[in-house]
Structure 1
Amino acid sequence: MIVCAKRGSRRHGRMRNVRGKGAMSKIEAVLFDMDGVLIDSEPVHFQMMVETLDAHGLPTPNDAEWEEFLVGRPDRDGLTDWLLGHRIDADIGALMADKLERMTARFDELVAPCDDGQWLARELARRGVPLAVVTGARRAELDIVLKRFDLGNVFAATISADDVRTGKPEPEPFLAGAAALGVSATACAVIEDAVPGLRAAEAAGMRPFVVDRGGDPARFVTVTPFSALDSRVLTVLLELAGIGSARHERDGLDLQR
């Protein structure tokens, strides 16, 4: 179960998220995942998928299978692999359409914001850092999130599962996000909460910042995640972007203490 940190959390991860020795290379943009970073939606996705499969008379994934096949990946890719693994023949398009309809109908009721992720995005945007959302969700879900949480003006570009052929952990979504912003992939930082997203960012040559929402930091292996997207993360990102005296801004940030 994902638990999104509240804005102003004082919990921190170690800085192994920021890789390299000596002076760190500058960044020109930051790419945000959506589910688990900007909104707390994973339990809702699981519930809607179970309801959809039940309605079509199909078996449903258990918790371990959900984590292995679907967390952090587009429904199209994860569901296809899970069905193939169980040798189940089903209409993927019909299942995805049904699940999307259920998800959008109950979005306001069930989906909550990740306060720290939305705060971080707004603070970066306020300081002029170009941002993009890069998500494995469908375009319709992404548009709902942008409107519901008034994030449309925060992100200069948006990439959904409908905009790419292959989803995370392949690098295509993040490469598309960098291209949409007009910056080099290696000049991008990525905010992620899932292993497939981390692997996608690494494959794209980007600098990953990972937040652990599931209480299992060891699963990321290559980075030590942060436990919240707080002022420490913002300060490092601003320093990498070369914006102002970021190191001295911490006390003036709009945080709940």
Structure 2
Amino acid sequence: MKKAVIFDMDGVVVNTEPIGYRANHQMYKDLNITVPDEVYATFIGGSDKNNMQKLKDLYNLEYTRQQLIDKKYEYYFKVFDAADDLTLMPGVQELIKDLHSHGMKLILASSAAKRKITKIFDRFGLHPFFDAVISGEDFEFSKPHPAIFLEAVKKTGCTANECVVIEDSVNGIAAAKAANIYCIAYKSGLGLPQDTTAADILVTDFKELNYQKIAMIH
């Protein structure tokens, strides 16, 4: 029986990808670089630390990695604060409430920085539902490395076999499988295409899931 659900955030709990895309491409423009979608797609699910290092190396940028991270968030929060199209993913709030009301342990394990997670949790009132929040900035390696999910399992107090991960990116799914956790891929159709074939099952609507269905996964 499954006792804990580990959620990714961007593209799973909240539809931040359009905002991130706008903010990042504004930054790229001001850095005088062009990042095609096929390169940008490889950043999805990775930590800011690793993504900014990749960007620095790919485009031979003179900024330090930390300067690029700070710059990224300067652009991101400008767009975030002005955005009226930032929403939770359809049906995810109902699923979170259903799981929480049945005593399921809920952990957020996101590659995003803590400041971004906090802004989103404050905006949508998500703090009461989650037992722990884990940020990728605390790990040397980001998804597809399993470190963040191994830590999430520890925080649940359950075994990996008693946990489920809900992910939307190829990097996140690879990390869940490397941690030996059952992985549900969520494909909303709202972000850039990601290969979800390595997941155990695929859902395109959170109405396909509820406490009963997740608890009974073998």
- TM-score normalised over the length of structure 1: 0.76
Superposition deviation, residue 101 in structure 1: 2.4
1:137 aligned onto 2:112: yes
Q: Partner residue of 2:202?
A: 225
Task: Give the count of matched residue pairs.
Answer: 214
For residue 58 of structure 2, the aligned residue among 85, 93, 99 is 85
- Find the aligned partners of 1:197 and 1:173 in 2 and give their Cα distance: 10
Q: CA distance change for structure 1 residues 164 and 135 in 2, over 3 Å: closer, same or farther?
A: same
Amino acid paired to 1:66: Y
Displacement of 1:152: 0.2
Within the alignment, does 1:168 sit opposite 2:143 as a pair?
A: yes
Aligned to 1:109: 82
Q: Please list every run of 5 or more consecutive structure 2 residues that lacks an aligned counterpart in the other structure.
A: none
Bigger CA drift: 132-141 or 173-182?
173-182
| Superposition deviation, residue 228 in structure 1 | 1.1
CA RMSD of aligned residues (A): 2.2
Equivalent in 52, 62, 65 of residue 36 of structure 2: 62
- What fraction of aligned residue pairs are identical, expressed as a percent? 25
Aligned position for 1:183: 158
Aligned-pair distance for 1:239? 2.3
Other structure's SS at 1:191 match: strand
Code of the residue aligned with 1:188 in structure 2: it is C
Indicate the residue corresponding to 1:75 in structure 2. Answer: 48
Q: Residue 127 of structure 2 aligns to a residue in which SS?
A: coil
For residue 45 of structure 2, give the secondary structure of its aligned residue in structure 1.
Answer: coil
1:251 matched residue in structure 2: none
Matched, 1:121 2:120: no
Q: Aligned partners of 1:228, 1:76: CA distance in 2, in Å?
A: 31
Whole-Å separation in 1 of the counterparts to 2:203 and 2:210: 8
Deviation at 1:220? 1.8
Give the aligned partner of residue 12 of structure 1: none
* Partner Cα distance (2:134, 2:80) in 1: 20
